[in-house]
Amino acid sequence: MSATVGLILRVTFLAFLYGFLALAMWMLWRSVVSKQINQGNLAIPGLTLSTKIGTETMVQSFAGTEVLIGRSLDCDFILEDSTVSSRHARLFYNLNQWWFEDLKSTNGSYLDGIRVEEPVVVKENDEFYCGDAIFTISIKPVEQEERRK
């Protein structure tokens, strides 16, 4: 009789264990799926770049997730300056932040006076240099109503 009770207890314990593991896996899967859905609805804050080369000032706004800066015609912000490489730098939106990256340009890029060697997070009113061009960043915050859409 005690062997039968032990067997029943073991089978019951295994059933509860597998049930618990199945419930935990299901909850993890639901959590991942809901985060993917919510991330797809996030609005990207607008980005405005103003630059000054000599006496000329240019201001341009962007709504996408990436901005290429350089002399090439395939760039989003085109500069006709010999100190700027054809594909000099890029700004990209990742992990809810704007990042700045030098694209191995000849004259390098500087953010607030420090040479950029790897992607760095940028914030409102940061200044960066691409060759002789001085850029100021303006990030438009996303309104609460836009986040819910």
Q: What is the pLDDT of residue 35?
A: 61
Q: What is the pLDDT of residue 43?
A: 78
In the structure, what pLDDT confidence band is assigned to residue 66 with cuts at 50, 70 and 90? very high
Q: What is the pLDDT of residue 14?
A: 94
Q: C-alpha distances in angstroms, 51 versus 48, 60, 102, 116, 126?
A: 10, 9, 17, 18, 12
Give residue-wise pLDDT tens across range 14-38: 999 999 999 999 988 887 776 655 5
Task: Quote the pTM value.
Answer: 0.66
Q: Output the six-digit token pair for 91.
A: 């700004």
Determine how many CB atoms are found less than 10 A away from the CB of residue 109: 27
Mean per-residue pLDDT over the chain, rounded: 86
Under a CB-based contact definition with an 8 Å cutoff, are residues 71 and 80 in contact?
yes
Share of the chain above pLDDT 70, in %: 88
- What is the residue type of 132? D
User: Above 50 in pLDDT, residue 92?
Assistant: yes
Under a CB-based contact definition with an 8 Å cutoff, are residues 107 and 85 in contact?
yes
